[in-house]
Amino acid sequence: SYVLTQPPSVSVAPGQTARIPCGGINIGSKTVHWYQQRPGQAPVLVVYDDSDRPSGIPDRFSGFNSGNTATLTITRVEAGDEADYYCQVWDITSEHVVFGTGTQVTVL
Amino acid sequence: QLQLQESGPGLVKPSETLSLTCSLSGASISSTTFYWGWVRQPPGRGLEWIASIYYTEKTYYNTSLRSRVTISRDTSKNQFSLNLRSVNASDTAVYYCASVRGSYRRIDNWGQGTLVTVSS
């Protein structure tokens, strides 16, 4: 089945930019969603359809998808952005929802 | 506003069946807008999709769990359910119910999650 790979961790200083990659074979041909999960809480959708934001999500969160990598970018990082982030696609071939391995973002 | 709430036992014995129910408010289980699904997360680990169901009753299952899982819905109660048979310790996880939307299956709303421990 389709596999999505993320780095286990990313560290970033407050005010800087965090980039979280999500790798998959020809992922650019698929549509990617991103979720934020704070400790002890359910995930929250932060980017959908590669680059759209749900209402209430700040424009500091953005997404891009091309080739073999999709990327979630968080600009002007804040302490409250510290969380786990997961990418997700719908693999139409297997009819599976597929999650990435997850990335823990640490704000230094 | 759509809300989902999981319910079910927090402790299940090995080899028995894990049964969870998700109650909806703010939307109908018969809505053509949503698929309804289950996702789990073992302690300290990542998210794993389990199954989804559409208003047509069409079901989708994770291949790795297909032989042990059934997802179903009850229109009279506006609920959907998960049964996972022959559980073992590796099925210990937080189980989330969720609403899934669109051709690309984004998960718009999540329940708060319920921890199910498999232990004798």
Give a three-class secondary structure readout of B97-116.
Answer: EEEEECCCCEEEEECCCEEE
Helix (H) or strand (E) holding B41: strand B34-41
pLDDT at A107: 97
Positive or negative CA dihedral for B28, B29, B35, B37? positive
**Integer Cα distance of A26 and A41 in angstroms:** 31
Residue A29 above 90 pLDDT? Answer: yes
Q: What's the pLDDT at A37?
A: 98
CA distance A79 to chain B (A): 21
Residue A99: the pLDDT is 98
CA A6 to chain centre: 9
Three-point CA angle A4, B46, B26, nearest 5° = 100
**Binary contact (A42, B113; C-beta < 8 A):** yes
Number of helical (H) and strand (E) elements in chain B, helices listed first: 0, 11
Task: Identify the pLDDT of residue B103.
Answer: 87
Find chain B residues with C-beta within 8 A of A37's C-beta. Answer: 47
Interface check for A56 against chain B (CB to CB < 8 A): the answer is no
Contact B106 A42 (CB under 8 A): no
Distance from CA of B39 to the nearest CA of A (A): 10
pLDDT at position A62 is 98
Q: Which residue carries 């559980």 as its tokens?
A: B87
Interface contact A35-B107, CB threshold 8 A: yes
